[in-house]
Chain A
């Protein structure tokens, strides 16, 4: 009921993020410091996710909470954005593409996670999920901040409803749990990947770049 309205609003708000003017930001962080902050956020989230995933998978019950559980990827799971990428391709990503991939992925993951929140069984789970979603939202905004400060446009398009139109809702309970399992797995992998993404960005974008860009844009 209410939660649907809230996250729809949030998703819409995130969609309108390109309007966020980084220069009005009173903190005046250099891009280098923003990248560091974003990196730290991914590490914090990764740590939080470990506890959250453990609790959630136990809630789902076996076989999802078994350490060796290694199911095949079903076609329907492809709608969750995957962090998997060819090594050379990953190395060759431009800063813009790298940031955009992260931004798009976490925006979608956030929406899916909020849908999970609405249906979670226990109060403890809802509390944990809610807290995690807030932190994840902070990460999305942080990435947006970095992109803005570097002069990159935010990726167009809505963050999307929990189930993009055309994708059927899980037909049974087991498949729904599979979806949840893969969502958490992709989220975990993305957080590991982001640590490496932001490491690369840290090295390539010194704070001085921001000043140059400001001058180039006539500020």
Chain B
């Protein structure tokens, strides 16, 4: 195809033929789904086996070695062989058959998760496939509560998610959620069974702020807010878990707070930058939220920071509620 003019002519001609063929509906044009690794045999429409035909893949001629008579044989297909396959009658170059080959896999077990981050309003379920199938999939979700079938309303965004409103509270009957994934090559499903209380997990606390306290070199004031998705903190109060550590150490210190949305850390190492996170949980039921976004803060110091080893040693000899051993001084020098 060195000369561009003849190839341009060929393209135009092929386009005209396709349009003509489509208008006259002389052949099939459809989508064909096949599994990875399968052997595929394509027939050229209604043509006889011994007819002279030419097959193309995405416009490129296919070598005759792949043909068995007028049938196209593709062995052990892989993903790269997806595309448009067309069959033309030998001499007239009439388009006799066309198909889109989509190579893919049947769905594996879908991953399903249900969670109530807005108790007592309801819960949501979200799902995804652990590995892609490379062909279109459809999802169907069913929620059964005792004898009652409930409707899980699909969310616009994100797509693979739906939500349900609780009709009753404090139910002893479990919820059974079944997700079925179907595509042209097969189907698969996953079922979750759970109690109303077991899936309660709030979103992490929001707007976590940590500030130094003036004239207090060992204090940090932390405050946060209830997650906005939690609808009724008055009747369903949250409790909180705070964790903090200086950047230079690996071990966290933890504080559990059953009341309020603020806490003052009083045993911070002077002059060291701290990383702080907060998690939330319903007071009585369910599990802890994920950790909030981490905030950084350094306690107040009188002058520009001196990261001296002497200061570190004096702090550890004074009374401290922290339970972890300070690192050896050489380590601080190295990291400081």
Chain B 234-247, CB within 8 Å of chain A: the 1/0 string? 11110000000000
Q: How far is the CB of B287 from chain A (nearest CB, A)?
A: 14
Q: Is there a chain A Cβ closer than 8 Å to B156's Cβ?
A: no
CB pair B170–A85 under 8 Å, yes or no, is yes
Q: Is there a chain B Cβ closer than 8 Å to A117's Cβ?
A: no
List chain A residues, Cβ under 8 A from B158: none
Q: Is there a chain B Cβ closer than 8 Å to A68's Cβ?
A: yes
Please, which residue of chain B has its CB at the minimum distance from the CB of A187? B172
Stretch of B5-13, B161-169, B314-322 lying at the A interface:
B161-169
A72-B147, A192-B284 known; A86 and B169 CB under 8 Å? yes
Chain A 181-219, CB within 8 Å of chain B: the 1/0 string? 010011011101101100110010000000000000000
List chain B residues, Cβ under 8 A from A70: 173-174, 176, 193
A72 to B173 alpha-carbon distance, docked (Å)? 8
Q: How large is the interface on B (under 10, 10 to 19, 20 to 34, 35 or more residues)?
A: 20 to 34
A70-B176, A73-B146 known; A199 and B170 CB under 8 Å? no
Please, which residue of chain A has its CB at the minimum distance from the CB of B171? A84
Q: Is there a chain A Cβ closer than 8 Å to B299's Cβ?
A: no
Main secondary structure of the interface of A (DSSP, over half): helix
B168, B176, B197, B284: the one contacting A85 at CB < 8 Å is B168
A85 to B120 alpha-carbon distance, docked (Å)? 12
Most buried by A among B169, B197, B285: B169
A182, A192, A203: the one contacting B285 at CB < 8 Å is A192
List chain B residues, Cβ under 8 A from A46: 284
CB pair B235–A196 under 8 Å, yes or no, is yes
List chain A residues, Cβ under 8 A from B225: none
Chain A 64-80, CB within 8 Å of chain B: the 1/0 string? 00001010110000000
Q: Is there a chain A Cβ closer than 8 Å to B188's Cβ?
A: no
Main secondary structure of the interface of B (DSSP, over half): loop
A87, A188, A192: the one contacting B168 at CB < 8 Å is A87
Interface size for A (C-beta < 8 A) is 27
A70-B193, A192-B284, A199-B237 known; A86 and B168 CB under 8 Å? yes
A84, A86, A90, A195: the one contacting B172 at CB < 8 Å is A84
Chain B 273-288, CB within 8 Å of chain A: the 1/0 string? 0000000000111000
A186 to B169 alpha-carbon distance, docked (Å)? 13
A185 to B168 alpha-carbon distance, docked (Å)? 16
B147, B174, B193, B284: the one contacting A195 at CB < 8 Å is B284
Please, which residue of chain A has its CB at the minimum distance from the CB of B235? A200
Q: Is there a chain B Cβ closer than 8 Å to A82's Cβ?
A: yes
19 residue pairs of the A-B complex, CB under 8 angstroms, read: A46-B284, A70-B174, A72-B146, A84-B169, A85-B168, A85-B170, A86-B167, A87-B169, A91-B235, A182-B172, A188-B172, A189-B170, A190-B170, A192-B284, A195-B285, A196-B284, A199-B235, A199-B237, A203-B235
Which residues in A have some Cβ–Cβ distance to B below 8 Å?
A: 43, 46, 68, 70, 72-73, 82-87, 90-91, 182, 185-186, 188-190, 192-193, 195-196, 199-200, 203
The 10 A-B residue pairs with the shortest CB-CB distance, nearest first, are A195-B284, A193-B170, A83-B170, A70-B174, A189-B172, A185-B172, A84-B171, A87-B169, A84-B168, A200-B235
With A188-B172, A193-B169, A196-B170 known, 14 other A-B pairs at CB within 8 A are A43-B284, A68-B193, A72-B147, A73-B173, A84-B171, A85-B168, A86-B167, A86-B168, A87-B168, A189-B170, A192-B170, A193-B170, A195-B284, A196-B284
